[in-house]
Chains A and B, each alone.
Chain A
Amino acid sequence: MDKRTRSGAMSPLLGDYAPASGVADELFDRDGCMRPVWRPFIDMLTNLSETELRAKFERGRQYLRDAGVYFRQYSQDPLEEREWPLSDIPVLLHETEWSGICAGLSQRADLLESVMADLYGPARLLSDGHIPTQLITENPHWKRPMVGVVPRGGHYLHFLAFELGRSPDGSWLVLGDRTQAPSGAGFALENRMAMRRVFPEDYPRAHTLRVAGFFEAFRATLHRLATDNRSEPHQFGLLTPGRANDAFFEHLYIARYLGLLLLEGEDITVRDGQAMVRTIEGPVPLGLLWRRIDANFSDPLEFSPDSRIGVPGLMDAVRSGNLAMVNALGSGVLETRAMMAFMPRISELLSGAPLALPNIATWWCGDDANRVYVRDNLQRMLIAPALSVDLPFDNNSETVRGAEPELVDLLDHRAPDLVGQEAVSLSTTPAWVETDKGPRLAPCPMTIRVFAARTETGWSFMQGGYARIGPEGDATALAMQRGGSVADVLVIADRKVPEPTAPQATAPDGTGRRSVRTESGALPARAADNLFWLGRYIVRFEDAARLLRAYHLRLATTDTPDDAVLTQIAEYLEPMDIAVDEPIPRGLVQRLEAAHMCAAKVRDRFSVDGWFALTDLLKTVRQMTETAEAGDDAARAMSVLLRKTAGFAGIITENMYRFYGWRFLSIGRALERADTLAAILETFADPEAPDGALDTALEVADGTMSHRRRYALEPTHDTVIDLLAHDAGNPRSLLFQLREMQHLAEGLPGADRSARPTALVRELLPVRTGLEVGLPAETTTKALRQLRRALARMSDRLAEAHLR
Chain B
Amino acid sequence: MRYDVTLKIDYEYSQPTDNTRNLLRLLPGDIPGVQTIHDWTLALTPQPSEQAHFTDFFGNWVTSAVWHMPIEEVKIALNFQAERFPQSSLLSFATPLERMAQALAAQRGAHPGSPLHFTAPTRRAPLHAEMSAFARDQLRDGFSALDAVQAVGSALHAEMTYSAEATDVDTEAAEAFAARAGVCQDYSHIMIACLRGIGIPAGYVSGFLRTYPPPGKERLVGVDAMHAWVRAWVGPETGWIEFDPTNNQFAGADYITIGYGRDYDDIAPVRGTTRGWGSQKSEQSVDVAVVG
Tell me, yes or no, whether A binds B: yes
Contacts from A to B (Cβ < 8 Å): 123, 126-129, 133-134, 136-138, 144-145, 147, 266, 269-272, 300-302, 304-305, 312-313, 316, 319, 366
Number of B residues with CB within 8 Å of any CB on chain A:
29
Question: How far does the alpha carbon of A366 sit from the alpha carbon of B107 in the complex, in Å?
Answer: 14
Closest to A136 in B: B110
B68, A301: Cβ atoms closer than 8 Å:
no
Query: Is B271 located at the chain interface by the 8 A CB criterion?
Result: yes
Question: How far does the alpha carbon of A278 sit from the alpha carbon of B23 in the complex, in Å?
Answer: 22
Query: Is B117 located at the chain interface by the 8 A CB criterion?
Result: yes
In the A-B complex, the 8 residue pairs with the closest CB atoms: A127-B109, A144-B57, A138-B120, A137-B116, A312-B273, A312-B21, A137-B117, A123-B110
A305, B271: Cβ atoms closer than 8 Å:
yes
Given A127-B108, A301-B273, A319-B54, verify A134-B116 contact (CB < 8 Å). Answer: yes
A137, B119: Cβ atoms closer than 8 Å:
yes
Query: Is B150 located at the chain interface by the 8 A CB criterion?
Result: no
Partner among A134, A144, A302 whose Cβ is within 8 Å of the Cβ of B119: A134
Min CB distance, B175 to chain A, in Å? 16
Q: Max chain B CB contacts within 10 Å: which of A270, A316, A366? A: A316
Closest to A144 in B: B57
A-chain residues with CB within 8 Å of residue B237 when the two chains form the complex? none
B-chain residues with CB within 8 Å of residue A319 when the two chains form the complex? 54
A-chain residues with CB within 8 Å of residue B123 when the two chains form the complex? 304
Task: Show 30 residue pairs from A and B whose CB-CB distance is below 8 angstroms, ordered by the A residue.
Answer: A123-B110, A126-B110, A127-B108, A127-B109, A127-B110, A129-B108, A133-B107, A133-B108, A133-B116, A137-B110, A137-B114, A137-B116, A137-B120, A138-B116, A138-B119, A144-B57, A269-B19, A271-B49, A271-B50, A271-B66, A271-B68, A272-B50, A300-B273, A301-B21, A305-B265, A305-B271, A312-B19, A312-B273, A313-B66, A319-B54
Query: Is B130 located at the chain interface by the 8 A CB criterion?
Result: no
Question: How far does the alpha carbon of A128 sit from the alpha carbon of B49 in the complex, in Å?
Answer: 45
Q: Which of B241-292 contact A (CB under 8 A)?
A: 265, 271-273, 275
Question: How far does the alpha carbon of A313 sit from the alpha carbon of B66 in the complex, in Å?
Answer: 9
Q: Max chain B CB contacts within 10 Å: which of A123, A134, A147, A270? A: A134
Min CB distance, B213 to chain A, in Å? 36
B-chain residues with CB within 8 Å of residue A366 when the two chains form the complex? 105
Min CB distance, A328 to chain B, in Å? 16
Min CB distance, B26 to chain A, in Å? 15
Q: Which of B54-109 contact A (CB under 8 A)?
A: 54, 56-58, 64, 66, 68, 104-105, 107-109
- Residue interface bits B108-131, CB-to-A below 8 A is 1, else 0: 111000101101100100000000
Closest to B272 in A: A301
For the A-B complex with A126-B109, A271-B66, A272-B50 known, give 17 more contacts whose Cβ atoms are closer than 8 Å. Answer: A126-B110, A127-B108, A133-B107, A133-B108, A133-B114, A134-B104, A136-B110, A137-B120, A144-B56, A144-B58, A145-B56, A270-B21, A270-B66, A301-B23, A304-B123, A305-B265, A313-B21
Closest to B101 in A: A416
B109, A123: Cβ atoms closer than 8 Å:
yes
A-chain residues with CB within 8 Å of residue B275 when the two chains form the complex? 266
Question: How far does the alpha carbon of A300 sit from the alpha carbon of B272 in the complex, in Å?
Answer: 8
B-chain residues with CB within 8 Å of residue A300 when the two chains form the complex? 273
Min CB distance, A134 to chain B, in Å? 5
Min CB distance, B151 to chain A, in Å? 23
A-chain residues with CB within 8 Å of residue B117 when the two chains form the complex? 137
B64, A316: Cβ atoms closer than 8 Å:
yes
Question: How far does the alpha carbon of A300 sit from the alpha carbon of B265 in the complex, in Å?
Answer: 11
A302, B23: Cβ atoms closer than 8 Å:
yes
Min CB distance, B51 to chain A, in Å? 11
B-chain residues with CB within 8 Å of residue A145 when the two chains form the complex? 56-57
B-chain residues with CB within 8 Å of residue A269 when the two chains form the complex? 19
Closest to B107 in A: A133
Min CB distance, B168 to chain A, in Å? 15
- Residue interface bits B12-54, CB-to-A below 8 A is 1, else 0: 0000000101010000000000000000000000000110001
Min CB distance, B52 to chain A, in Å? 8
Question: How far does the alpha carbon of A134 sit from the alpha carbon of B107 in the complex, in Å?
Answer: 9
Closest to B201 in A: A137
A-chain residues with CB within 8 Å of residue B107 when the two chains form the complex? 133
Question: How far does the alpha carbon of A127 sit from the alpha carbon of B110 in the complex, in Å?
Answer: 7
Min CB distance, B62 to chain A, in Å? 9
Closest to A300 in B: B273
Min CB distance, A781 to chain B, in Å? 34
A-chain residues with CB within 8 Å of residue B120 when the two chains form the complex? 137-138
A-chain residues with CB within 8 Å of residue B119 when the two chains form the complex? 134, 137-138
B110, A301: Cβ atoms closer than 8 Å:
no
Question: How far does the alpha carbon of A378 sit from the alpha carbon of B77 in the complex, in Å?
Answer: 61
Q: Max chain A CB contacts within 10 Å: which of B19, B57, B119, B273? A: B273
A-chain residues with CB within 8 Å of residue B110 when the two chains form the complex? 123, 126-127, 133, 136-137, 147
Question: How far does the alpha carbon of A437 sit from the alpha carbon of B50 in the complex, in Å?
Answer: 73
B271, A301: Cβ atoms closer than 8 Å:
yes
B-chain residues with CB within 8 Å of residue A304 when the two chains form the complex? 123
Question: How far does the alpha carbon of A143 sit from the alpha carbon of B153 in the complex, in Å?
Answer: 30
A-chain residues with CB within 8 Å of residue B19 when the two chains form the complex? 269, 312
A-chain residues with CB within 8 Å of residue B50 when the two chains form the complex? 271-272
Closest to A367 in B: B105
Question: How far does the alpha carbon of A272 sit from the alpha carbon of B119 in the complex, in Å?
Answer: 36
Question: How far does the alpha carbon of A271 sit from the alpha carbon of B67 in the complex, in Å?
Answer: 10
Min CB distance, A563 to chain B, in Å? 43
B-chain residues with CB within 8 Å of residue A144 when the two chains form the complex? 56-58
Question: How far does the alpha carbon of A46 sit from the alpha carbon of B94 in the complex, in Å?
Answer: 77
A-chain residues with CB within 8 Å of residue B109 when the two chains form the complex? 123, 126-127, 133
Closest to B18 in A: A804
B-chain residues with CB within 8 Å of residue A129 when the two chains form the complex? 108
Min CB distance, B169 to chain A, in Å? 11
Min CB distance, B53 to chain A, in Å? 12
B-chain residues with CB within 8 Å of residue A302 when the two chains form the complex? 23
Question: How far does the alpha carbon of A312 sit from the alpha carbon of B276 in the complex, in Å?
Answer: 13
Question: How far does the alpha carbon of A301 sit from the alpha carbon of B272 in the complex, in Å?
Answer: 7
Q: Max chain A CB contacts within 10 Å: which of B120, B123, B265? A: B120
Min CB distance, B83 to chain A, in Å? 30
Question: How far does the alpha carbon of A133 sit from the alpha carbon of B201 in the complex, in Å?
Answer: 14
B-chain residues with CB within 8 Å of residue A316 when the two chains form the complex? 64
Question: How far does the alpha carbon of A126 sit from the alpha carbon of B117 in the complex, in Å?
Answer: 13
A-chain residues with CB within 8 Å of residue B49 when the two chains form the complex? 271
Question: How far does the alpha carbon of A270 sit from the alpha carbon of B54 in the complex, in Å?
Answer: 17
Question: How far does the alpha carbon of A486 sit from the alpha carbon of B212 in the complex, in Å?
Answer: 70
Question: How far does the alpha carbon of A127 sit from the alpha carbon of B105 in the complex, in Å?
Answer: 12
B271, A126: Cβ atoms closer than 8 Å:
no
Question: How far does the alpha carbon of A694 sit from the alpha carbon of B104 in the complex, in Å?
Answer: 86
Q: Max chain B CB contacts within 10 Å: which of A128, A136, A271, A312? A: A312
Closest to B124 in A: A305
B-chain residues with CB within 8 Å of residue A127 when the two chains form the complex? 108-110
Min CB distance, B126 to chain A, in Å? 12
Partner among B57, B64, B108 whose Cβ is within 8 Å of the Cβ of A126: B108
Min CB distance, A163 to chain B, in Å? 27
Question: How far does the alpha carbon of A366 sit from the alpha carbon of B102 in the complex, in Å?
Answer: 11
A-chain residues with CB within 8 Å of residue B271 when the two chains form the complex? 301, 305
Closest to B23 in A: A301
A-chain residues with CB within 8 Å of residue B56 when the two chains form the complex? 144-145
Question: How far does the alpha carbon of A305 sit from the alpha carbon of B104 in the complex, in Å?
Answer: 30
Closest to A320 in B: B52
